[in-house]
Structure 1
Amino acid sequence: MSLLEREVPGVVMTPDNIRSRKLPVIVNVLVAVAAFAVAAVIVLGAGIGNWVLVAVIGLILYLVGLNIAASRVEGRRAARNRTMQALIYSACVLAVLPLASVVWTLLSKGLERLDGAFFGTSMNNIGARDPEGGAYHAIIGTLEQVGIATLIAVPLGVLGAIYLVEYGRGRFANTVRFFVDVMTGIPSIVAGLFILSFWVLIVSPWFNDGNPRFSGFAAALALTVLMLPTIVRSTEEMLRLVPGPLREGSYALGVPQWKTILKVVLPTALPGIVTGVMLAIARAAGETAPVLLVAGGAAAINFDPFAGNQQSLALFVYQQAGDASRYAPARAWTAALTLVALVLILTIAAKLLARRNKLSR
């Protein structure tokens, strides 16, 4: 008897029977093809739905057929495992399909006006019958508004999260956590109304001879209100994930708490903090209502965020999508593609910077 053979009561285990039988890949493919073909015949033949219903019924038939085929070849236990595995993969595909559809739609419709004129001109003096006009003024406004909001929200959010994790105890800390959770779900238009009633109508007249004034800075303040809770909550969770022995080792060496937080805790949690910040930036860059309420929008270029109306890409998309001009939809799709690409570039750059941190590796 070889080393691979082993005597079991009444059974001799050999290399031929120690391996379980596997369902061939071709059978899996044939079951899928047959399931979706039957679903197409039922749905389209009877005229009771479209390809979405075909996909749903086909998936159900595929899971049933796979379970039956796998039960005959691999056994019931392996068949259940294979069926659940197929269900998980199918759910993953269904989750990716909407994202792929959005990306494809943006690329197919947004490339029409993706040219130098779109990025180098504004909508100033552009009429309904003029095919020209671009989003240069909206890009400038988005970069300035989101940049100012980030400069305000990130330090406040990170410091607030450090207080809640490292220092916060008692009723005050619990109250701060409660209001952060509440702010996470407030509609964006509420933030815009708050800045409108406070900054535009009360504060800005002090600097403009008693007259309220829209500005990009007011839009940045509204975006800050929306970004703060996301940054605080995400940073708080990342700081809680930092292992306690790292802090204890630093304290044992005589390092004060503030320096431990600065040199050990924050670098370790940096990748997660960057992810939370980028989520907040992505939300702020796509907001329309706050900018419309407190910045007003503009057709001309305005580099000064503290004076005069200012445009943003999200507001530009909203306005062009509702414009009666036949050239407006193309501008709206290209601006939407530009906004997505801008957020993607910022996210990749932030991730690359976070990777350079040695303690987070």
Structure 2
Amino acid sequence: MTPDNIRSKTLPVAVNLGIAVVAFVVAAAIVLGAGIGNWVLVVVVGAAFYLVGLNVVAGRIEGKRAARNRAMQSLIYAACVLAILPLASVVWTLVSKGVARLDADFFNTSMNNIGARDPEGGAYHAIIGTLEQVGIATLMAVPLGVLGAIYLVEYGRGKFAGTVRFFVDVMTGIPSIVAGLFILSFWVLIVSPWFNNGQPRFSGFAAALALAVLMLPTIVRSTEEMLRLVPGPLREGSYALGVPQWKTILSVVLPTALPGIVTGIMLAVARAAGETAPVLLVAGGAAAINFDPFGGNQQSLSLFVYQQAGDASRYAPDRAWTAALTLVALVLILTVAAKLLARRNKLSR
């Protein structure tokens, strides 16, 4: 028996492509010819025809089992494409519409003294506000979140640890506007008058507090899961060498889980950078540059996008799209930098 005789038959690539072409041509003829839909329906109907035709043809050539395998593979590929398409569409829309005002003036000027008929004006004040607010929120939320996760994994036992987990889970789904209202009622209306001659004051620091409230549960939960993935023998080997628990956590557990912890932190940072409601409630927004996060109204990129998108000026939409592109690019840069730093630290060990 020759090797060719023991090989099972396979569906040629040309036949597979032919099935796809015929399926989409028939779908286009039916949908567009009958006027019952557009190209989106053509794609859906064509994909259905393709799966049916592939199953029939592959069943005759390769057998029913191989045909079912091909059909499942096609469904998986289709699901992957459907998952990527919205992301690709968002990126394309941001880039194509955001380049209109991607110039030096946009990054070097604010909206101070800019009227509805002025094509100038930029988001420098919003970029400064976002960096300060998210930076302060990160400095507050990351240590608390990581320490809280360490307690839950390494030390937490009994009802108190269960209560902490319960409230962390509840806070994970808290709406951003609720966090903003909490900081408004507590910090802006009660605490800030102590430092402002009895008058409430909006500030970027208040927005950072609200963002920290939103970031904290995400950091705790993601860090907790990463710490639980650290193999137990690593801890046991450290304990066997006489290393105390706190030093084992610092030198063994945290370095091992660092890449996953960084990913969770960057997810929290991305959420904080894109929040609008807390900044609107407790920072107020501003058209001028304010470098002081503890005094006076302050702007952010997300709030800038919201305000420009609703502005009546014909120049405002371009500013909004460019600000949205800037916000996405800023989060991307921070994420890549954090990933590279975590990878470098891991390799250096």
User: Structures share a fold, TM > 0.5?
Assistant: yes
Amino acid at match of 2:91: V
Report the counterpart of residue 276 of structure 1 in structure 2.
264
> Is the partner of 2:268 in helix, strand or coil?
helix
**Counterpart residue type for residue 29 of structure 2:** V
Per the alignment, residue 98 of structure 1 pairs with: 86
Residue of 226, 230, 245 corresponding to 1:242: 230
- Counterpart position of 1:20: 8
Structure 1 stretch displaced more, 351-360 or 162-171: 351-360
Alignment match of 2:214 (pick from 226, 233, 236)? 226
Structure 2 unaligned regions, length at least 5? none
Paired with 1:146 and 1:138, the residues of 2 have a C-alpha distance of 12
Q: Corresponding residue for 2:288?
A: 300
What is the deviation of 1:47?
Answer: 1.1
- AA in 2 matched with 1:315: L
Partner in structure 2 of residue 131 of structure 1: 119
**Partner Cα separation in structure 1 for residue 4 and residue 16 of structure 2:** 24
Q: How far apart are 1:27 and its partner, in Å?
A: 1.1
Q: Which residue in 2 is equivalent to 1:201?
A: 189
Which residue, out of 312, 322, 325, partners 2:313?
Answer: 325
SS of aligned partner of 1:301? coil
Displacement, 1:30? 1.1
Q: Secondary structure at the match of 1:296?
A: coil
Distance 2:36 2:305 in 1: 37
CA RMSD of aligned residues (A): 1.1
Q: Greater helix share, 1 or 2? A: 2
**Cα distance in 2 between the residues matched to 1:23 and 1:218:** 64
- Distance, in Å, in 1 between the alignment partners of 2:7 and 2:224 is 49
* Aligned residues with identical type, % of pairs: 88
The alpha carbon displacement at 1:299 in A equals: 0.1
CA distance in structure 2 between the aligned counterparts of 1:250 and 1:19, rounded to whole angstroms: 54
* 2:19 pairs with 1:31: yes
In structure 1, distance between residues paired with 2:75 and 2:45: 13
- Give the drift of 1:34: 1.2
For the pair shown, the structure with the greater C-alpha radius of gyration is 1
**Amino acid paired to 1:191:** A
Between stretches 280-289 and 54-63, larger displacement belongs to 54-63
Q: Does 1:338 align with 2:319?
A: no
Write the distance in 2 (CA, Å) between the matches of 1:36 and 1:226.
Answer: 47
Counterparts of residues 1-361 of structure 1 (less than 5 Å): 13-358=1-346
- For 1:216 and 1:357, locate their aligned partners in 2 and report how far apart those are by CA, in whole Å: 32
Cα separation, 2, equivalents of 1:142 and 1:187:
20
Report what 1:10 is aligned to. Answer: none
Measure the CA separation in 1 of the matches of 2:245 and 2:264: 24
> How much does 1:357 deviate?
2.9
CA distance in 2, matches of 1:240, 1:360: 23
Quick one: distance in 1 between partners of 2:35 and 2:4?
51
User: What do the CA deviations read for 1:165-216 (whole angstroms, capped 9, x no partner)?
Assistant: 0000000000000110000001000000000000000000000000000000
Task: Find the residue that maps to 2:3 and give its secondary structure.
Answer: coil
Residues in 1 aligned to 2:298 and 2:346: alpha-carbon distance in whole angstroms: 41
Cα gap change, 1:193 to 1:110, in 2 (>3 Å): same
Distance 1:166 1:238 in 2: 12
- Deviation string for 1:258-306 (max 9, x for gaps)? 0000000000000000000000000000000000000000000000000
